């Protein structure tokens, strides 16, 4: 392994989040490729950056920061590289005004400021100071969460600019974090790791970092600092958790199920809940996009816009009906989706979803935008039952690994087809693949494949819920 030599802003931010991950990255350890949804999300962030340049007429792309900024005339440069020895960063936007004052702008594709943005800007200011360049103001350019698209996008309304000069100044008072990073990242000793049950799953170095640590320990629900303590103390089995590390009620239930390797079920509660459902029972699932820059009039940044639904309807005689909708045009998918939905779902019977907060929020948003469908959408929400709640407390299985996601629960009940068998196996991929199909420049063969994959994936969601429901009915009866 040979080090990457340059200490970059990206590596510094990695180091803040997890020193060991940054160490692996700096020293070019082999790691997993980013999954497709993460790559697509990064590309979306790049598009936000490009859109933000419209705030600065005459802005120019720069590769030679020193040459550009040392000119006497006012200038605004995009993505200039700042370098001091083996330290480097690429700024988003630097503006030199008519009075030769320098202003730094960092673009983020979020709608709210986050504390981790300050070290990002501070690293750039640190390098600029080393180049004897003083910054007048440090600014965040964020998406405006209250922006609603109406026709062509006005960048001055799409974005908000926040002055964070004081926060950056406070962070850089003694340059402690940056100097410690510069010193320690080249250490031959593998640095501390910050174990997080959610972030670690996405880390490209998880295999190197967490080798030998049992999945049972890493899967403790909302384990956070408790997982860190257990790993630091060399505890690798749930049965060995000491009394001074107190588990929550849900964590203890998870541990009991894993240790016994037996499922726990509260049949009376499940039977009572399922007996309250009324036929016909409609199993509903939406797939959505959530573009940072709104694509349709009436929508705002990151609004969940449904482009597809899958529906199974179970009659009281056992007959099962399937219907689906997939939008295949560049137009706003919601009007046609609602038109088709209204022909499939009536006003009687229960509606089952998995994590009803999501489906209900989609319906609430659409009912506000399309009042002609408000009565139907409100009725669907009033009759909706969240099947996943059964697996939070009343049915626990060691194969769930502490999770009640559909992808974890379904294999226990339905082995005909699994998500791992599909080309599209989760919602993030479905979202970005649909946008590739509709807005990308793919050939007909690629588009047809994405269409088939989307229909297959969405159908499995509701098909799986049907099978889980049937299995539960048989189990409690």
Written as one string, the DSSP assignment of 115-156 is TTHHHHHHHHHHHHHHTT---SEEEEEEE-TT----SS--HH
CB 92 within 8 A of CB 106: yes
CB 104 within 8 A of CB 111: no
Residues 6 or more apart in contact with residue 277 via CB below 8 angstroms? 350, 352, 385
Q: What is the pLDDT of residue 3?
A: 47
Residues 6 or more apart in contact with residue 350 via CB below 8 angstroms? 277, 278, 279, 281, 282, 383, 384, 385
Q: State the DSSP string of 175-202.
A: -HHHHHHHHHTT-SS-------TTHHHH
Please give the Cα distance from 229 to 459 (Å, whole number).
42
Q: What is the pLDDT of residue 4?
A: 47
Tens digit of pLDDT per residue, the chain (477 long)?
444 457 899 999 999 888 888 988 998 888 888 899 999 999 999 999 999 999 999 998 876 665 556 666 888 999 999 988 889 999 999 999 988 899 999 999 999 999 999 999 999 999 999 988 899 999 999 999 999 999 999 999 999 999 999 999 999 987 788 999 998 888 877 777 777 656 777 889 888 888 888 989 989 998 888 998 998 899 999 999 998 999 999 999 999 999 999 999 999 999 999 999 999 999 999 999 999 999 999 999 999 999 999 999 999 999 999 999 999 999 999 999 999 999 999 999 999 999 999 999 999 999 999 999 999 999 999 999 999 999 998 999 999 999 999 999 999 998 887 888 899 999 999 999 999 999 998 999 999 999 999 999 999 999 999 999 999 999 998
Q: What is the pLDDT of residue 64?
A: 61
Other C-beta atoms lying within 10 Å of the C-beta of residue 169: 14
Paired sense of beta strands 60-61 and 351-353, if any: unpaired
CB 413 within 8 A of CB 471: yes
Q: What is the pLDDT of residue 301?
A: 98
Q: What is the pLDDT of residue 2?
A: 43
Classify 336 in phi/psi space as left (phi over 0), alpha (psi -120 to 50) or beta: alpha
Q: What is the pLDDT of residue 5?
A: 52
Q: How many helices (H) and strands (E) does the chain have?
A: 21, 16
Please give the Cα distance from 431 to 308 (Å, whole number).
10
- For the segment 325-378, what is each residue's pLDDT rounded down to a tens digit? 999 999 999 999 999 999 999 999 999 999 999 999 999 999 999 999 999 999
What is this structure's pTM?
Answer: 0.92
The sheet that has 320-326: what strands, in order across it?
A: 320-326, 305-314, 281-289, 351-353, 384-386
């Amino acid at each position: 392994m040979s080090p990457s030599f340059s200490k970059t802003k990206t590596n510094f931010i990695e180091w803040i989040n997890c020193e060991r991950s940054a160490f692996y990255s700096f020293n070019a350890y082999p790691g997993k490729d980013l999954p497709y949804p993460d790559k697509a999300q990064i590309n979306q962030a790049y598009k936000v950056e490009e859109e933000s340049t419209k705030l600065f007429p005459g802005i120019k792309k720069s590769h030679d920061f020193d040459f550009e900024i040392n000119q006497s005339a006012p200038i605004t440069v995009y993505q200039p590289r700042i370098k001091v020895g083996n330290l480097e960063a690429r700024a988003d936007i630097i503006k030199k005004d008519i009075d030769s004052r320098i202003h730094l702008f960092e673009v983020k594709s979020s709608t709210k400021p986050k504390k981790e943005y300050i070290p990002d800007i501070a690293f750039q200011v640190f390098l600029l100071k080393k180049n004897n360049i003083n910054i007048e103001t440090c600014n965040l350019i964020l998406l405006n969460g209250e922006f609603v698209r109406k026709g062509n996008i006005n960048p001055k309304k799409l974005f908000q600019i926040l002055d964070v000069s004081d926060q950056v100044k406070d962070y850089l008072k003694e340059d402690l974090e940056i100097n410690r990073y510069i010193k320690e990242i080249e250490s031959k000793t593998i640095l501390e790791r910050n174990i997080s049950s959610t972030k670690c799953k996405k880390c490209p170095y998880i295999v190197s970092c967490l080798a030998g640590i049992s999945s049972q320990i890493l899967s403790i629900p909302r384990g956070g600092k408790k997982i860190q303590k257990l790993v630091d103390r060399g505890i690798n089995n749930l049965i060995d958790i000491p009394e001074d590390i107190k588990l929550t009620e849900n964590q203890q239930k998870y541990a009991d199920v894993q240790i016994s390797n037996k499922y726990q079920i509260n049949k009376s509660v499940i039977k009572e809940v399922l007996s309250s459902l009324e036929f016909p029972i409609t199993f509903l699932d939406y797939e959505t996009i959530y573009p940072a820059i709104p694509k349709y009039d009436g929508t705002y940044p990151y609004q969940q816009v449904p482009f597809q639904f899958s529906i199974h309807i179970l009659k009281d005689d056992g007959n099962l009906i399937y219907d689906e909708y997939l939008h295949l045009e560049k137009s706003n998918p919601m009007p046609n989706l609602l038109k088709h939905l209204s022909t499939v779902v009536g006003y009687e019977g229960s509606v089952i979803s998995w994590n009803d907060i999501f489906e209900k929020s989609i319906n609430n948003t659409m009912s506000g935008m399309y009042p002609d469908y408000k009565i139907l959408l409100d009725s669907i929400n009033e009759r909706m039952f969240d099947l996943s709640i059964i697996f939070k407390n009343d049915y626990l299985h060691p194969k769930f690994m502490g999770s009640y996601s559909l992808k974890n629960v379904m294999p226990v009940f339905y082995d005909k087809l699994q998500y791992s068998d599909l080309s599209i196996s989760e919602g993030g991929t479905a979202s970005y693949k649909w946008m590739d199909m509709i807005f990308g420049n793919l050939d007909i063969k690629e588009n047809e494949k994405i269409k088939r994959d989307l229909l297959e994936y969405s159908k499995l969601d509701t098909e799986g819920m049907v099978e889980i429901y049937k299995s539960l009915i048989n189990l409690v009866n």
